[in-house]
Amino acid sequence: MQTYFKKRYNSFKFAFRGLNSAVRSEPHMRLHVLSTLGVVGAGFFFDVTKTEWCLLIGCIGLVFTAEVFNTAIETVVNLVSPAYNPLAGKAKDLAAGAVLAASIAVAIVGLIIFVPYVISFLNLAKHT
């Protein structure tokens, strides 16, 4: 039984090491972390609903997941094809495109959630 728990512990340890590596080595991942802090701050400031929190957390998870997959794909491609290869470049472009697609979708969700709060806040500020 102890072996089972040790394997689970190691799995989590390696996964957290991977996330840590992505944050430390990838500038875009650091931008995602910074954006996350801004979104969480805005969520508390505007007191978003539970449903909106769920959407925001899901979106944050989607972008982080896409970025980690992108980093993993780029790392493997660099390993197996250190010299320039058009197919290697295509694989890396596709992975980056997935992050871009996720980021655009998430930005739209963010706008749908936050624009009404910002408009309401500005209208309230204008009348005080």
* Structure confidence by residue, pLDDT tens digits, 19-31: 999 999 999 999 9
Q: What is the pTM of this model?
A: 0.89
Q: What's the pLDDT score for residue 50?
A: 98
Residue 12's domain is classified under what CATH number?
1.10.287.3610
The pLDDT tens digits of the residues spanning 64-123 come to 999 999 999 999 999 999 999 999 999 999 999 999 999 999 999 999 999 999 999 999
Active-site choice (26, 52, 67, 74): 67
For the question of residue 67 being annotated catalytic, the response is yes
pLDDT at 2 over 80: no
The predicted pLDDT at position 125 comes to 86
pLDDT value at residue 1: 64
Overall size of the chain counted in residues? 128
Residue 34: pLDDT band (50, 70, 90) is very high
Among the residues of the chain, which ranges form H helices? 2-25, 27-46, 50-80, 86-126
Phi-psi region of 47 (alpha: psi -120 to 50; beta: other; left: phi over 0): left
What is the residue range of 67's domain? Answer: 2-126
The pLDDT of residue 128 is above 90: no
Number of compact structural domains in the chain = 1
